[in-house]
Chains A and B, each alone.
Chain A
Amino acid sequence: MLSYLLFTLTIGGIYALLALSLNLIWGGVGMVNLGLAGFFAVGAYATAIVTGAGAPVIVGLGSALLASAIVGLLVTYGTLRLRGDYLAIVTLGLAEVIRLIALNERWLTNGADGMSGIVAPLRSTVGSQAFNLGYLVFVSAVVILMWLLLRRLDHSPFGRAMKAVREDQELAGFAGKPVLRLKLQAFALSAAVAGLAGALYGHFQSYISPDHFQPLITIYIFLAVSAGGVGRPAGAVIGAYAVVAFLEGTRFVAELLPGVDPLQAAALREMLVGAALLLILHLRPQGLLPERIQPARKTRP
Chain B
Amino acid sequence: MELSYPMLNKTIIYSKIHLPNCRLSGLIFFCLLSLSAPLYAVQITLNVADVAAPSFTARGIKVVLAQEGSAEFSIDELHMAEKIWRKVHIYCTEFLLNSAHVTCHKGKLDVIPDLPFTFSYEFSSQQLELQFTANANELWQVSADFRAKPWRATALLRNAQSKRLTDLLPSNGALPKQGTLNGTLVIHGDKAGVSKINADLQLADLAATDASGLHAAEKLSGKLHINADRAGQKWNWRGALDWQGGELFWQPLYLRGGHTLQASGQWDGAQLQVTQAVVNLPEVGKIELNALWDIKKSNLLEGHLVGENLSLANGFANYAKPFMEQSILSATALKGRADVDWQYRNGTTQVLLLQLHDVAVEDGEKRFALHGLNADIPWHAQLQNVAHVAFTDGELMGLPLGATQWQIQMRGMDFTLPTATLPLLDGKLEVSDFHIHNVNNMWQWSFSSTLTSISMQKLSAALHWPEMYGSLSGFIPKMSYLNKLLKVDGTLLFRVFDGTVLANNLELFDPFGRAPRLSGNLDMRELDLDLLTRTFSFGNIQGRIDLGVNNLELVNWLPVRFDAKLASSPGKYRKKISQKAVENISSLGGAGGIAALQRSFLRIFENFGYDRIGLSCMLQNDICTMGGVENNGNVYTIVKGGGIPAITVIGYNRKVHWSELLNRLKRVSQDNKAVIK
Partners in one complex: no
* Residues of chain B at the chain A interface (Cβ within 8 Å): none
Residues of A within 8 A of B (CB): none
